[in-house]
Amino acid sequence: MHIILVEDDLPLGTAIQHALEKLSYAVTWLRDGREALAALRDQTADLVLLDLGLPNKDGLEVLAEARRAHVNTPVIVMTARDALEARVRGLDAGADDYLVKPFHVEELSARIRSLTRRAQGLAANRIDVGVLSLDIGTSEAEFRGKRIELTRREFSLLRILMERAGRIVRREHLENSLYGLDNSVGSSALEVQIHALRRKLSFDAIRTIRGVGYMIPRDPT
């Protein structure tokens, strides 16, 4: 998989390039905003890691221009600015995700996987999160090497949670995805599905954030 890294800081660029190569990604490292825009337009990359403070052209401008040119490559914005600003302005400009510096390699790879999981999953018909994997073709899961049969609802639920592993998925989002606007479904229906999944996997494989939603950790046990 090919990742374009745009970062003007030499030590940080070196570190990230090194980390990504160890994770078996092909990395092209650019240090300039204009070069970055040209590379984005070529659409050769599967994902772009874009620093915001760039010489010649600001990262947000690069991103906005690329999006205007209908470049749909997933972009993760990296910023040394504040989280709030990054969220509001980065996502407005068309970023798929953002990382506030400093961050760990683990965090970076999780974000990359999260963004490419869907695309890769469609290609490979398979989503992997640690020791948990989901076969989209057969609707079967595999947990710690054990094959698990899933109902249609359980499969949909697990797929959403796995595509966003490490993130909290809001309860309302899950309910809408699973039951649509069907009002006849009681509020406990989702709990029943979660309970069933936990029995087939493990209790800790799915975490409850009461009042917010559910999540599958990046490294489920």
205 lies in the site for other proteins, by CB under 8 A: no
- DSSP letters, 132-174, are EEEETTTTEEEETTEEEE--HHHHHHHHHHHHTTTSPEEHHHH
For residues 58 and 12, the answer to whether their CB atoms sit within 8 Å is no
209 binds other proteins per the rule CB under 8 A: yes
Alpha carbon distance, N-terminus to C-terminus of the chain: 27
112 near other proteins, rule: CB under 8 A = no
**Residues 148-187 as x/- pattern, contact with other proteins by CB under 8 A:** ------------------xxx-x-----------------
Q: Residue 27 pairs with which residues in a beta bridge?
A: 3
Tokens of 49: 């890691």
Size of the site for other proteins (CB under 8 A): 39
Query: 10-22 and 105-124 are packed helices; what angle lies between their axes, rounded to 10 degrees?
Result: 40
In 10 A of CB 111, how many CB atoms? Answer: 22
Least spacing, CB of residue 123 vs other proteins, in Å: 27
Closer by beta carbon to other proteins, 53 or else 94: 53
Output 62 or 99, the one with its CB closest to other proteins. 99
Beta-bridge partner residues of 127: 134
* Tokens standing for residue 113: 């996987």
The residue from 31, 53, 113, 126 that contacts other proteins (CB under 8 A) is 53
123 binds other proteins (CB under 8 A): no
**Per-residue x/- marks for other proteins, 63-92, CB under 8 A?**
-----------------xxxxx--x-----
Candidate list 1, 19, 148, 196; residue touching other proteins; CB under 8 A: 19
Could you say whether residue 212 binds other proteins (CB under 8 A)? yes
Q: Is-contact 60 87, C-beta < 8 A?
A: no
Select from 1, 64, 105, 131 the one that contacts other proteins (CB under 8 A).
105
For residue 56, which phi and psi values (nearest 5 degrees)? Answer: 75, -40
Q: Which of 50, 143, 126, 128 is nearest to 93 (CA)?
A: 50
Candidate residues 1, 12, 136, 196; the one interacting with other proteins per rule CB under 8 A: 12
Name the site residues for other proteins (rule: CB under 8 A): 9, 11-12, 14-16, 18-19, 22, 53, 80-84, 87, 100-108, 166-168, 170, 207-212, 215, 217-219
